[in-house]
């Protein structure tokens, strides 16, 4: 008998389940080496390795971590707890000696999740599930890329600033595209949204503690940068979700969470963000419209009495000061601003005038990302901020300024299609426990452009991650496969 040597088994024939383990071993060795080099950053290295390993094992974990790190934490360095948020949302080069790593941990998690999804698709020889809003998402993403090429390719353009300007929009679109591939059942989606709501409640408690411990006795004018500007959007989303659970089907223990609404609103008062209260008013009006169309009895029993109470509150606190008067101040400042509101409005009006003239100067193509806009009307000196000449407060006009009318219309179409699909799903699922989540997500999609019209929003990874989450979830709930697996 002649013995024959067995041919080595090719790597491609290894069971796919062994690949995450092999990747974990390689990542662990890399972590050991990095720890020896980074010493005082060993904890950050260990967290990165653990997050990467979990992402390779279950891609949806990477998406969970990325969104929660963006939404549930604020990038505030004066607060030891929120310093984690600053680390997660800032370039690695800004807080470590690795100056060549010009990406954030949130971006790294999203990219790793995308690679894990694509890797599994290749191994399984099956394309990942498609987002229902795939067409509008890809059109908007293509226009972002073209605007970068247009801005950088012309004289005076900066590639670094171009990538910085549009990077978070790309993160949002990527999250929306990934959600159908990583959230396989409706139960997983609802569980994740519930965890995010709980995280916002915890963040609200932390904001209250921060205001009276880290910032005791501070005046409202000095706390402007002590709280995340986008945080009220997430608070409003959670408030709408908790209120919607009183209107549509929900478990009793889920409805008990409505007791957290006063805490969330108190924390929002302490942040002093006018745009947040305007967004909440619009979201509640939208919720009232849904109730009138789908839950008429609840509308008469709840909305009309609460509307009368709110009108009485406005009359009582119209000229008052303090945190309790913040909602009334936000409404009054629209027509009768004073003090800090007046100076802020004047700056933004002048800035918006400059942006409009730049749009008129480039009506078809826009400036392109990486190109500074001209100050036709001089503005107060904010040169300490490197993007002073690149990003105005009005993020909606900024998008028009950079991408031209095509990019602006594509973004509005994406938002409009998402809202329309969400309303359609709410009608279909009005008698299920999914209805509160859908109502909250639709209100969130409406709040994003409203907030971005008055403040820097679309360059924020926090707001863009939330936007991508809302678009992706509304898309995945529209799939027939999700209905069958629920």
339 conformational bin, left if phi > 0, alpha if psi -120 to 50, beta if neither: left
Q: Which two tokens stand for residue 310?
A: 């709110």
**What does the block give as tokens for 475?**
């898309």
Per-residue pLDDT tens listing for the chain (486 residues): 444 444 444 444 445 556 566 666 766 666 666 556 555 566 666 777 788 888 888 899 999 999 999 999 999 888 888 988 999 999 988 888 878 888 899 999 999 999 999 988 888 888 888 878 889 999 999 999 999 999 998 887 788 999 999 999 999 999 999 999 898 888 889 999 999 999 999 999 999 998 888 876 555 555 666 788 899 999 999 999 999 999 899 999 999 999 999 999 999 888 877 778 888 888 998 988 888 888 777 777 777 777 787 777 777 766 666 667 667 666 666 555 555 555 666 777 888 889 999 999 999 999 999 999 988 888 887 777 888 889 998 899 999 999 999 999 999 999 999 999 999 999 988 888 999 999 999 999 999 999 998 877 898 999 999 999 999 999 888 664 444 444
pLDDT of residue 12: 44
pLDDT of residue 55: 86
pTM of the predicted structure, to 2 decimals: 0.85
Place of tokens 């062994």: 18
Residues 6+ apart with CB under 8 A from 128: 117, 118, 120, 121, 180, 181
**C-alpha to C-alpha distance for 387 and 378, rounded to whole angstroms:** 16
> How many other C-beta atoms are found inside a 10 Å radius of the C-beta of residue 102?
15
Give Cα separations from 131 to 425, 471, 474 (angstroms).
15, 9, 9
pLDDT value for 314: 72
**Token representation of residue 423:** 């309303």
- Count of other CB atoms within 10 angstroms of residue 390: 23
Instruction: Decide: 153 and 371 in contact? Cβ < 8 Å.
Output: no
Please state, as a whole number, how many other Cβ atoms lie within 10 Å of the Cβ of residue 485: 12
Enter the tokens of residue 454.
């008055």
What are the angstrom distances between the C-alpha of 467 and each of 57, 71, 118, 221, 321?
26, 11, 22, 29, 33
- Count other Cβ atoms within 10 Å, centred on residue 321: 11
The Cα angle at residue 398 between residues 335 and 344, in degrees rounded to 5? 35
Q: How far lies 274's CA from each of 202, 232, 328, 451, in Å? A: 22, 9, 9, 10
DSSP assigned state of 419: H
In this predicted structure, what is the pLDDT of residue 5? 47
**CB of 372 within 8 A of CB of 405?**
no
Cβ contact 240:439 at 8 Å: yes
The number of residues in the chain equals 486
Kindly list the distances between the CA atom of residue 202 and the CA atoms of 125, 227, 391, 398, 404, in Å, as whole numbers in the listed order. Answer: 42, 15, 31, 33, 40
Tokens 């894990």 belong to 116
Token pair for residue 312? 């009485």
Compute the CA torsion angle 149, 150, 153, 157 (nearest 10 deg): -100
């Amino acid at each position: 008998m002649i013995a024959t040597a067995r041919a080595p088994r090719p790597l491609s024939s290894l069971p796919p389940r062994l690949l995450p383990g092999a990747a974990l071993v390689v990542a662990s060795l890399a972590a050991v080496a990095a720890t020896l080099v980074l010493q005082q950053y060993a904890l950050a290295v260990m967290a990165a390795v653990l997050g990467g390993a979990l992402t390779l094992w279950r891609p949806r974990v990477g998406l969970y971590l990325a969104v929660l790190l963006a939404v549930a934490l604020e990038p505030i360095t004066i607060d030891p707890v929120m310093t984690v948020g600053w680390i997660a949302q800032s370039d690695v080069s800004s807080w470590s000696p690795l100056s060549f790593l010009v990406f954030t941990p949130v971006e790294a998690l999203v990219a790793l999740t995308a690679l894990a999804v694509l890797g599994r698709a290749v191994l399984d020889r099956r394309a990942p599930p498609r987002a229902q809003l795939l067409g509008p998402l890809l059109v908007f993403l293509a226009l972002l890329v073209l605007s970068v090429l247009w801005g950088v390719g012309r004289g005076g353009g900066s590639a670094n600033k171009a990538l910085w300007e549009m990077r978070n929009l790309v993160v949002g679109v990527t999250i929306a595209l990934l959600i159908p591939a990583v959230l396989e059942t409706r139960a997983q989606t609802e569980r994740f949204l519930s965890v995010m709501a709980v995280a916002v409640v915890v963040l609200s408690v932390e904001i209250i503690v921060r205001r009276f411990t880290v910032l005791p006795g501070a005046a409202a004018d000095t706390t402007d940068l002590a709280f995340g500007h986008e945080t009220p959007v997430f608070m409003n989303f959670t408030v709408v979700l908790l209120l919607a659970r009183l209107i549509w089907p929900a478990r009793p223990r889920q409805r008990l969470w409505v007791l957290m609404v006063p805490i969330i609103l108190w924390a929002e008062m302490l942040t002093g963000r006018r745009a947040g209260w305007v967004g909440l008013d619009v979201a509640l009006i939208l919720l009232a419209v849904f109730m009138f169309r789908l839950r008429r009895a609840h509308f008469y029993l709840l909305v009309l009495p609460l509307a009368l109470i709110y009108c009485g509150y406005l009359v009582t606190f119209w000229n008052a000061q303090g945190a309790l008067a913040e909602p009334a101040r936000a409404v009054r400042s629209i027509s009768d601003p004073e003090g800090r509101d007046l100076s802020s409005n004047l700056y933004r009006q002048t800035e918006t005038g400059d942006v409009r003239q730049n749009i008129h100067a480039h009506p078809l193509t826009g400036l392109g990302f990486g190109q500074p806009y001209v100050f036709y009307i001089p503005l107060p000196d904010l040169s300490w901020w490197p993007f002073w000449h690149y990003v105005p407060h009005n993020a909606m006009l900024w998008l028009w300024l950079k991408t031209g009318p095509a990019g602006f219309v594509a973004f509005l179409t994406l938002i409009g299609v998402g809202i329309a699909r969400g309303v359609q799903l709410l009608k279909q699922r009005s008698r299920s426990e999914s209805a509160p989540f859908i109502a909250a997500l639709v209100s969130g999609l409406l709040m994003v452009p409203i907030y971005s019209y008055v403040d820097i929003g679309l360059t924020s990874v926090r707001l863009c991650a939330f936007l991508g989450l809302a678009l992706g979830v509304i898309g995945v709930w529209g799939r027939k496969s999700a209905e069958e697996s629920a």
